[in-house]
Amino acid sequence: MAAQPVNGLVKFITSLKEIPSEAERDYHVREELAKVRCCFGRSSLSGYEKKKCILKLVYIHMIGYDVDLGHLEAVHLMASTSFQEKVAGYMACEVLLVDIEELRSLVINTVQADIHDASEHVQAIALNFIANSLSVELHEHMFNDLVTMLTVNPFESSMLRKKLYMCIMQLFRVNPKPFRLQEWKPKMADLLCKETDLGCLMALTNLMLAFVRLQKDGWDHCVAIILEVLLRLHSGSMQGKGYYTLQYPWLVVKLLTFLASIEPNPKACFMNTLMHVLERLLGRVCFIKVPMTRYNSYITDTQEQKTVWTLRMSIAHETVRVIGTWFDVMPSFSVHHLSEFLDKLLTSKSSHVHVNALEMVASALKNSSLHRMLKSKVPHFVGMLGSADTTVRCRAAEIVSQLCDDDNWELIVPELLSVVRESDITTQDLIVPTLLGVIERVVPRGSLYVESVFKVVQFTHKPTDLSDVCRILQSTSRPQQIKVVTKCISVLSGTLLNDALLRICATMLEYYCHTIERRVLGELAALLKRYFLLGTPTTQCVILTAVAKFAAYDNSLWASTELFLESHAAHCDVNVQSTACELLHMMLMGRSLFQSMMLENYESDSCHVLEFASSDISSRCTADGRDEDHHMRSHGRTTRHRDPTSDNSPGYNDSDSSRDSLLEELVLSNSPGVIFSDGTLSVWVEQAYRHHDAKLLVRICNIRDGKEAVRITRLSLRSPPHLEGLCHNRATGVLAPGESVGHKLSFILRSFGVALPQYSIDYTLGPSVGQPMNHRVVLRLPVSLNKFLTPLPVDAHNIGNLWDSLKDKELSGDVIWGSDVHHLSDIVMRCVSGHIVKVSLLVRVMQYFQISNKEAIICCSCKSADEDPAICLASFRARPKGYVSACRVKIHGSGKKYQ
């Protein structure tokens, strides 16, 4: 049975290791693979030669080469009568054999025969192969045989029983579905009763622990047997292999782990036995010798002493876990010995003893009934907060945070603040979430609450922790909101300010700016602008949003805020740039619209600075995504609004408080809209955009009456220079009446520009007589992807005079656009094209003025390459179905003739 050396394999490995060059080594391996392939081609190949070749293939596979031969030879070796050849065959099949269907049945039959072999060594390698295999079919075929061997015909050999337990545990880990635990629980109890070998008992306990992780109740029969085993091990009546002076300590730990993992049954009949076992274990635990000096003296102990002490502490820890699990159903159980043992550990000056003590306390804290006993030891835990060991300090912080309540928070919170202040960044990141939770839970709301939170913010580094700070500072109480705002103003006025404080102050001032007087808002906006360059990009986005919010409340800040946002529209960070552009976009749509989007609870009266309801503030103080995406929070709403200048403008209808639905779709939604319809095809556009990326879905529908189909022959996209367009699918083909097809497009903004992409559709109609008719449709796609700069300041009540004064060039006519008023920008571009200027043209974007719910005027200002100013205006009227008609365009300036 002794292994025989394979000389050919030894020579191959030795020669391979002596080759220095990687290329030569690769050549040598390829050459050896060719030799093995030739050997397998010979008909008269002995078992030894076959084993040698298979082992070479296994080694070649282990050093990283692909091996695609020797599978059938490995299966033949599995069925060999020679044990050495059988071992080589099992090894090769385990390493080389992939799931080849032709060989699967041969492998299963061989394993099934070997598991019933008379030799226990052959049975052992078969069990090992089953456990290490991931083949579902092999497990299904062998499952019933393994269960029969486990319960009906158990192995006499303890070695095979142990392997069988471990094999079944591996099958359960791979696929627990075949195991019906209600049937297996009685089987486990029977096996515990019959098992006498401690090694097998250890493997069986591991199997039960795997079952317990799936189902924790209904193990009372097993618990009674386990308690009996523990008593026998404790008394020494069960003989087994000991470890130094301990009687099989690993089995004791596993059995206690099982007791701590199951769900307690208060009506169990073994409660007295359980309490007796725990008392005897605690009695021994109290006699553990605890090092009272620092760790340096502990290193003088021998390795045997260290190992024995570690094992005893493991037993003590599992005993505490069992007590924490079962204490509620043991009303007469005394924790006096446990308290004495913890006092002994906590009074030690050794850090590794403290770590063990804190781990036991953490296990005991899972049962609230033990909190009263542990609260008496709070001074010990507070003293550990000053430990030089980082692990002890962090674990002690977790313990005192759980024990902190209304009676002792005045002692614990200052100590935790002191620990955070004196720790390194890694330790601060671990303790700050714990400290924030303590402050939120036990500190009374008021000035001290706000002061404590801001002291923690100084040492907060993680974005998730900063989000928690915003959450715990929110309040529906106006006095509490004023306290938060007052603290933020004090912090911004001070000299010591870091990025975390700046972000929190900007966020909270944005939340509660309705509590600030108008005259103070300007000073706060100036402070935030001064600190803007000191913040990270995320903080800068928060500052931009806060300053814009101030402008929504105070009209006197409008112009300065607009310039501030415009100055950062070309920021180097894409998030800051996008936030500035989106906020500027909303401001350019008018004050009322901007206020309705920023302040949410906007009233349609003539006031421009609005008040939030308390519930509205609570709904906005969300922790997730607050720092990363301020600029898109209002996108998609359908809030009704009015132009703030309408109260002073003649010709405006004050009673008409709703704007045309076309403008709502332009600003407040990405709802789909028809951009073309000719009775044969209708073209809809749906879009979504973020930062500099836009996604469009062009949906083409056959709306022709009857049964005549339309064939889409070609779809083409022509993008302007500032937009990079891309088609993502093919949408050509035949469309039956009522059918539609979607063409997916995407765009990336590369530079500033106002031109829209050109989209053309070629299609044919097949008449009943004659040749098919070819048609072509050319459209402009309304891509909402642009940057907005300072608009031309034109008062609404002067718009009529301005219109009449523009006599130089004029174009009138009927044009039709779809209901999606993104096409309003097309009107502006028609104006711009009349100037015939170079690429350096700077477009100052449009302003919108509503005359009635069916008539409006848009205005833009332009500046040509030679700095010659020009003004473009256009008016339109809406037809009943939402189409725009009767467009007039006027251009004033010295530009060339309109084309």
Which of 20, 22, 88 lies closest to 58 in space, CA to CA?
A: 88
For residues 455-486, one letter each, b for 16 or more C-beta atoms within 10 angstroms of the residue's C-beta and e for the rest, the string is bbbbbbeeeebbbbbbebbbbeeeebbebbbe
Phi, psi dihedrals of residue 706, rounded to the nearest 5°: 90, -155
Mean pLDDT of 502-517: 92
Reading phi first (left if > 0) and then psi (alpha if -120 to 50, else beta), residue 737 is in beta
Mean pLDDT of 334-355: 91
> CB of 134 within 8 A of CB of 94?
no
pLDDT at 323 (0 to 100): 95
Neighbours of 575 (CB within 10 A): 18
pLDDT at 752 (0 to 100): 58
3-class state of residue 16 by DSSP: helix
Q: pLDDT band for 753, please (50, 70, 90 cuts).
A: low
CATH architecture of 788-899: 2-Layer Sandwich (3.30)
pLDDT at 58 (0 to 100): 92
Q: How far apart are CA 337 and CA 344, in angstroms?
A: 11
Q: What amino acid is encoded at 248 in this protein?
A: Y
Provide the β-strand partners of residue 567.
Answer: none
Q: What is the mean pLDDT of the chain?
A: 78
> CB of 641 within 8 A of CB of 800?
no
Domain-by-domain residue ranges, the chain?
242-376, 661-786, 788-899
For the chain, the residue count is 899
Q: pLDDT band for 77, please (50, 70, 90 cuts).
A: very high
pTM greater than the 0.75 cutoff:
no
pLDDT at 815 (0 to 100): 34
Neighbours of 454 (CB within 10 A): 21
Mean pLDDT of 84-104: 85
3-class state of residue 870 by DSSP: strand
Strand ranges inside 612-757, DSSP E:
673-677, 681-690, 693-702, 710-718, 723-727, 733-735, 740-749
Structure-model confidence comparison of residues 807 and 408, the more confident one: 408
pLDDT at 625 (0 to 100): 37
**pLDDT per residue as tens digits for the range 580-622:** 888 888 887 778 878 877 875 433 332 333 233 333 323 333 3
Q: What amino acid is encoded at 787 in this protein?
A: K
- Measured CA distances, 281 to 192, 235, 315 (Å): 22, 11, 9
CATH number, span 661-786: 2.60.40.1230
**pLDDT per residue as tens digits for the range 225-276:** 999 999 988 887 776 666 767 788 899 999 999 999 999 988 889 999 999 9
Residues comprising the binding site?
48, 52-56
SS (H, E, C) 369-396: HHHHHHHCCHHHHHHHCCCCCHHHHHHH
Q: pLDDT band for 31, please (50, 70, 90 cuts).
A: very high
pLDDT at 439 (0 to 100): 94
